[in-house]
Amino acid sequence: MDLGLQEKVIIVTGGAKGIGEAISRLITAEGGIAVIAGRSTADNEKTVNEIIAAGGKALAITAELGKVEDCKKVIAETVAAYGKIDGLVNNAGANDGVGLENGSPERFMASLQNNLSHYYNLAHFALPYLKATKGNIVNIGSKVASTGQGNTSGYAASKGAINALTREWAVEMLPYSIRINTVIPAEVWTPLYETWINSLPNPEEKLASITAKIPLEKRMTTSEEIANATVFLLSPRSSHTTGQIVYVDGGYTHLDRSIS
Ligand code: NAP
C-alpha cells in the first residue's frame, strides 16, 4: 500500500530513540521527511545520518522541549528548511516517577512541563502551517492514563491530559480538516523502558512478570509496531479518522489478563 507520504514534512519529537526513532525511520522509508527534535544533538544527528545513508531525508533540531522558546525554534527551523509542515508526532516523554507521596509540587509541575506542555506548544506554533497543508497530529500517549501505575503522578496526569486534548483538538480543528489522533503503547522495549525497569529492585523478575501478563503472544510490543500504526494515522490513508485513541498494546489495557 502506498501511504502517500512522499515529501511530507513531519516533525517527530524524541525522534532519535526508541518509539520516535522507529517512527522517523518509517516516515522516511515511505518517502517523507522526518524532522527529529530532541534534547541530544548527538542522538539526533546519529539517527539523521543513518537515515540519510539509507537514502532517506531527515533534519536534526536540538531542543529541550519543556522550554517554550525551544518549541518555537523547532517550528521556525522546520519552516526555514522546507517551507511547510505536513504533520506533527508528539512523542517525547519520560516516566519520571514523581509520586503523590514521594514527589513535591515543584517536581509535579516540572513533570507536566517535560511531558505535556510541549504537546500543546508545538501544536499551537505549528497550527498556521498545518492549516495551510491540512496536516495532522499524532500524539503518543500511555496506558498509564487508563490503568494508573503508582508513583508517577506527573507522567500519568500528562498522559491523561493528552487523551483529553486528542478529543478537544479534534473538535476544534474540524473546520480546518486537521486530524488529531493518539496511539497508546503499554510495554515497548526502548531505552526509556530499559532505564525504568533497571530502576526496580528485581528487574529481570519484574520483566518476566510483566510480559507474562501481555495477552497477545506474551511479549512486548515492538517500536516498529507502534510506528506502523502511527504512520498509518499520519497518512492520507487515514483521511476520515480523527479524535481516536488507538491502543497498540497486545490487548494489555482492555483484555481480561486473568484468563490465561
Ligand atoms: P525513549 O527511549 O526515552 O526516547 C524518547 C526520546 O525523547 C529520547 O531521545 C529523549 O531524550 C527525548 N526526550 C524526552 N523528553 C524530552 C524533552 N522534554 N525534551 C527533549 N527531548 C526529550 O522513550 P520511548 O520509550 O521511546 O517513549 C516514547 C513515548 O512513548 C513517550 O511519550 C512515552 O511516554 C511513551 N510510552 C512508552 C512506553 C514504553 O513501553 N516504552 C509505554 C507507554 C508510553 P533523552 O534520552 O536524552 O532523555
Using an 8 Å Cβ cutoff, are 257 and 213 in contact? yes
Catalytic site includes residue 247: no
Alpha carbon nearest to ligand 1 atom 17, residue:
65
- Ligand 1, pocket-test mutation among 39, 65, 88, 184, most atoms within 8 A of CB: 39
Active-site residue among 119, 155, 193, 252? 155
175 C-alpha to ligand 1 centroid (Å):
32
> What was the pLDDT predicted at 260?
59
Residue 171 burial (CB count, 10 A)? 11
Rounded to whole angstroms, what are the CA distances from 25 to 35, 48, 53, 192? 11, 9, 12, 18
Within 6 Å (CB) of ligand 1, which residues are found?
14, 16-20, 38-40, 43, 63-66, 91-94, 114, 140, 142, 185-188, 190-193
> What was the pLDDT predicted at 259?
66
- Using the Cα atoms of residue 95, residue 99, residue 105 and residue 106 in order, give the sign of their dihedral: negative
Per-residue pLDDT of the chain (260 residues), as tens digits, is: 999 999 999 999 999 999 999 999 999 999 999 999 999 999 999 999 999 999 999 999 999 999 999 999 999 999 999 999 999 999 999 999 999 999 999 999 999 999 999 999 999 999 999 999 999 999 999 999 999 999 999 999 999 999 999 999 999 999 999 999 999 999 999 998 999 899 889 999 999 999 999 999 999 999 999 999 999 999 999 999 999 999 999 999 999 877 65
CA atoms of 113 and 66, how far apart (whole Å): 5
Alpha carbon nearest to ligand 1 atom 5, residue:
14
The model carries a pTM of: 0.98
The position carrying cell 500517549 is: 141
Q: Which three cell numbers stand for residue 153?
A: 503522578
Question: Residue 257 contacts by C-beta under 8 Å, 6 or more apart in sequence?
Answer: 213, 215
Query: Per DSSP, what are the bridge partners of residue 57?
Result: 33
Burial (CB count <10 Å: 0-12, 13-18, 19+), residue 245:
middle
> What was the pLDDT predicted at 135?
98
Rounded to whole angstroms, what are the CA distances from 103 to 133, 154, 186, 199, 205? 42, 9, 23, 16, 26
Query: For the chain, which domains are there?
Result: 9-187+223-247 (3.40.50.720)
Contacts of residues 171-179 at CB distance under 8 Å and 24 or more positions apart, as own/partner, are: 171/243, 173/242, 174/242, 176/130, 176/131, 176/134, 177/134, 178/127, 178/130, 178/131, 178/134, 178/135, 178/136, 178/137, 179/136, 179/137, 179/233, 179/238, 179/239, 179/241, 179/242
CA atoms of 167 and 254, how far apart (whole Å): 20
> What was the pLDDT predicted at 258?
75
